[in-house]
C-alpha cells in the first residue's frame, strides 16, 4: 500500500484570513464591489486566504491601465534592447524570491514543494531567453520589381493581451505567456484561476521593481464568468491567451471569433505512452509513473493512456503497480512526499466519478481506486491503474486530470499508432523503444504537438509547444511564439524623384 506521510500541512492564516486585492496599474486595488472569495489549501481542506472577487468593473479598470501603458512613451518608446534588460531583471528577482513563491504555490494548489522549487528555478530561464530574443524581433526587406521601390516589413506588438491561466502550474504557465508577450512590447491583463491567485499576485509587483512602467502587467482575480468573460469580450483586448479545458477554450475561441481577434489556446489532452516490445521495461515503467502520477495527474500532458505491446504487457503492469504501491502520499511541503492532493474538491469528485465509470465499463483496478487515509483532511486520491479497458471507454477517451491511468495492449506498430491517434486530442505522446528507426517513424505518424522518445514530461522555453485537434490553437515557447504576439505590417516606399506613373496601373 502507499505510504501516507504524517507531516501536517501548515495553513498560514490564524484568525481572520489574509486578503489579496487585484493588482492594477502598479497598485494593489480592492474589488469594485467589495466582495472577496476564499481560497482553500487542498492539503487541509481549509481556507487560508481571501482574494478579490473581480467583476466587469475591475476588468475595465485593468484594461484601461494596460491600454494607457501600451500607448505611454515610457513603454511604447523603450528600445527592444532595454525591454530585454527589464525581462532579465525580472528573472533575477524571481530567483531571489523563489523560495517564497514556491511555498505559496505549493500551499495554494497542493503540488509538491520540491516540484515547485524546480519550476521556480527554471522560471528565470524564460525571462532570460525572451529577454535575449527581444531585440532579435524584426521584419525583413523584400525585393521589388523596381530598384526605386523599397518594400519592408515591421513586426509590431498587438497591444493589450488578455491571459486566462489555470490552477495546476500558475506561475510556469503564465510565464509562458508573459515573457514573450512583454518581449514583443505588449501589455497584459492576467486573470488567474480563482483557486490559485496568491502566487501570481506575489509575482506581479516584481515587474515594477524591475523597472517596468505601471500598468504593463495587471492581475484581476475572480471567477471565470464574472471576471474572465468580461476580459474575453473587452474590445480593447487585441489578443487572448488561454490555458485550460477544451470546453472553455472552445467558448473563448467562439467569442474571439465574433470580435475577429486572435486567441492562443493550450487545451486538454489524452496523451498516449507507447511501450514497444524492445523497450527497457524498467525505464518505461518509470516514465509511466512520471507521466501520470507526477503532479497527481493534474497536467494537460499527462500520459493517461499507456499502450503496451502484448509481449511485455504483464511485466509493465506489474512494475507500474509495484512502484505505485510505494508512492508516498501526504503533505506536499514535506520533502519526502511524492503525491500531494488534488487541487479542489470538485476535481477529487471528478476523479472518483471516472474511477466508478471505469469499473462499470468492465475495467479492473490493478492498484488504487480510492481515497488514502492521510489524516490531513484534504483532497487526496490514490494513484490508480486500470487494466482490461478498451480505448472506447470513458476513462480512455475523456480527460480526467487526475492520477488515473489505463493500460491497453497492442500487437504491432500499426495497431499502436491507430489506438494512439484514435482520440479527439493531440497534445503529447511518449515512445519507448531501442529501435531508432521505429522511434522516428512512430513520431512522424503520431497526431501530437510534442513527442518524447525514451523520456516523458520535459519542457524548455526554447522548444515550441502546440496542440493538434482539440488540444489547442497556436504555439507557445520557442521563437515561433513571437508570431503569436506581434502583427505584421508591410511598408512600400517609392524612392524615385520622377512623377507618379499611370494611376490605373498597379505597381509591383
User: Which CATH number does the domain housing residue 88 bear?
Assistant: 3.40.605.10
Q: How confident is the model at residue 6 (pLDDT cuts 50, 70, 90)?
A: very low
Does 260 lie in the same domain as 300? no
Number of domains, the chain: 2
Of the pLDDT bands very low, low, confident and very high (cuts 50, 70, 90), residue 501 is confident
Residue in 491, 497, 432, 484 with CA at minimum distance from that of residue 178: 484
Burial of 503 (0-12, 13-18, 19+ CB in 10 A): exposed
Q: Do the domain assignments include residue 6?
A: no
Considering the domain architecture, whether residues 166 and 252 belong to the same structural domain is answered as yes
Q: Which of 8-12, 123-127, 251-255 has the lowest mean pLDDT?
A: 8-12
Same domain membership, residue 338 and residue 207: no
Three-state DSSP state, 401: coil
Per the structure block, which three cell numbers stand in for 53? Answer: 472577487
In terms of domains, do 84 and 118 share one?
yes
Q: Output the pTM of the full model.
A: 0.94
pLDDT at 15: 66
Q: Which of 50, 194, 238, 266 is catalytic?
A: 266
| Residue 501 domain-assigned (yes or no) | no
Residue 5 has pLDDT above 70, yes or no: no
Return the C-alpha cell found at 65.
491601465
Indicate whether 228 belongs to any domain: yes
The verdict on residue 2 lying in a domain is: no
64 pLDDT higher than 50: yes
Same domain, 383 and 449: yes
Residue that is written with C-alpha cell 495527474 in the block: 297
Residues 287, 409 within the same domain: yes
Q: pLDDT band for position 137 (50/70/90)?
A: very high
Q: Return the half-sphere exposure (C-beta side, CA atoms, 13 A cut-off) of residue 110.
A: 35
Provide the domain limits for residue 330: 272-453
Question: What pLDDT sits at residue 507?
Answer: 77
* Alpha-carbon radius of gyration of the chain: 25
User: Could you tell me which residue, 145 or 165, shows the higher pLDDT?
Assistant: 165
User: Residue 505: inside a domain, yes or no?
Assistant: no
| 50 carries an active-site annotation | no
Write down the H helix ranges in 97-204: 98-109, 113-133, 170-183, 198-203
Whole-number Å distance between alpha carbons of 234 and 311: 56
Residues 246 and 316 in one domain: no
- The mean pLDDT value of the chain amounts to 95
CATH of the domain at 407: 3.40.309.10
> Which residues make beta-bridge pairs with 404?
384
On whether residue 282 sits in a domain, the answer given is yes
- Asked if the structure places residue 508 within a domain, the reply is no
- Same domain for 113 and 157, yes or no, is yes
Question: Rounded to an integer, what distance in angstroms lies between the CA atom of residue 461 and that of residue 179?
Answer: 10
Q: For residue 502, what pLDDT band results from cuts at 50, 70 and 90?
A: confident
Strand order in the sheet with 46-52: 18-20, 46-52, 36-41
Give the Cβ contact number of residue 422 at 10 Å: 15
State whether 28 and 149 are in the same domain.
yes
**Do the domain assignments include residue 204?**
yes
* Residue 271 and residue 425 in contact, taking contact as beta carbons nearer than 8 Å: yes
User: Is the pLDDT score of 175 beyond 50?
Assistant: yes
Q: Are residues 308 and 358 in the same domain?
A: yes
Whether residue 58 sits in one domain with residue 199: yes
Residues 295, 416, single domain; the answer is yes
Amino acid at each position: 500500500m502507499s505510504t501516507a506521510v504524517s507531516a501536517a500541512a501548515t495553513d498560514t492564516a490564524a484568525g481572520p484570513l489574509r486578503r489579496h486585492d487585484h493588482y492594477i496599474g502598479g497598485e494593489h486595488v480592492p474589488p469594485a464591489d467589495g466582495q472577496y472569495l476564499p481560497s482553500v489549501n487542498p492539503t487541509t481542506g481549509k481556507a487560508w486566504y481571501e482574494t478579490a472577487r473581480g467583476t466587469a468593473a475591475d476588468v475595465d479598470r485593468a484594461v484601461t491601465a494596460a491600454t494607457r501603458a501600451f500607448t505611454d512613451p515610457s513603454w511604447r518608446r523603450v528600445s527592444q534592447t532595454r525591454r530585454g534588460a527589464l525581462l532579465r531583471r525580472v528573472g533575477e528577482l524571481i530567483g531571489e524570491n523563489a523560495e517564497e513563491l514556491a511555498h505559496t504555490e505549493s500551499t495554494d494548489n497542493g503540488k509538491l514543494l520540491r516540484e515547485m522549487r524546480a519550476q521556480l528555478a527554471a522560471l528565470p530561464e524564460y525571462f532570460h531567453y525572451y529577454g535575449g530574443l527581444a531585440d532579435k524581433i524584426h521584419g525583413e526587406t523584400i525585393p521589388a520589381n523596381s530598384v526605386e521601390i523599397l518594400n519592408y516589413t515591421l513586426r509590431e506588438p498587438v497591444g493589450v493581451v488578455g491571459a486566462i491561466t489555470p490552477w495546476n502550474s500558475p506561475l510556469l504557465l503564465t510565464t509562458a505567456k508573459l515573457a514573450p508577450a512583454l518581449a514583443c512590447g505588449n501589455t497584459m491583463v492576467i486573470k488567474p484561476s480563482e483557486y490559485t491567485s496568491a502566487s501570481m499576485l506575489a509575482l506581479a509587483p516584481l515587474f515594477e521593481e524591475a523597472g517596468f512602467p505601471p500598468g504593463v502587467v495587471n492581475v484581476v482575480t475572480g471567477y471565470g464568468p464574472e471576471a474572465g468573460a468580461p476580459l474575453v469580450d473587452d474590445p480593447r483586448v487585441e489578443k487572448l491567451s488561454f490555458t485550460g479545458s477544451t470546453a472553455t477554450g472552445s467558448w473563448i475561441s467562439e467569442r474571439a471569433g465574433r470580435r475577429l481577434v486572435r486567441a492562443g489556446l493550450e487545451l486538454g489532452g489524452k496523451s498516449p505512452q507507447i511501450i514497444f516490445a524492445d523497450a527497457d521495461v524498467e525505464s518505461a515503467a518509470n516514465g509511466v509513473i512520471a507521466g501520470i502520477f507526477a503532479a497527481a495527474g493534474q497536467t494537460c500532458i499527462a500520459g493517461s493512456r499507456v499502450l503496451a505491446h502484448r509481449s511485455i504487457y504483464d511485466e509493465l503492469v506489474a512494475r507500474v503497480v509495484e512502484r505505485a504501491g510505494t508512492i508516498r502520499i501526504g503533505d506536499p511541503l514535506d520533502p519526502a512526499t511524492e503525491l500531494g492532493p488534488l487541487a479542489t474538491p470538485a476535481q477529487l469528485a471528478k476523479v472518483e466519478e471516472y474511477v466508478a465509470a471505469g469499473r462499470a465499463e468492465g475495467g479492473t483496478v490493478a492498484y488504487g481506486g480510492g481515497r488514502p487515509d492521510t489524516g490531513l483532511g484534504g483532497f487526496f486520491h490514490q494513484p490508480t491503474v486500470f487494466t482490461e479497458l478498451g480505448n472506447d471507454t470513458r476513462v480512455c477517451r475523456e480527460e480526467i486530470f487526475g492520477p488515473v491511468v489505463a493500460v491497453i495492449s497492442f500487437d504491432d506498430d500499426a495497431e499502436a499508432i491507430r489506438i494512439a491517434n484514435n482520440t479527439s486530442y493531440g497534445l503529447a505522446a511518449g515512445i519507448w523503444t531501442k529501435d531508432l528507426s521505429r522511434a522516428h517513424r512512430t513520431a512522424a505518424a503520431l497526431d501530437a504537438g510534442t513527442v518524447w522518445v525514451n523520456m516523458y514530461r520535459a519542457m524548455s522555453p526554447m522548444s515550441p509547444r502546440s496542440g493538434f485537434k482539440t488540444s489547442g490553437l497556436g504555439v507557445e515557447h520557442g521563437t515561433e511564439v513571437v508570431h503569436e504576439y506581434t502583427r505584421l505590417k508591410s511598408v512600400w516606399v517609392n524612392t524615385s524623384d520622377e512623377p507618379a506613373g499611370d494611376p490605373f496601373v498597379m505597381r509591383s
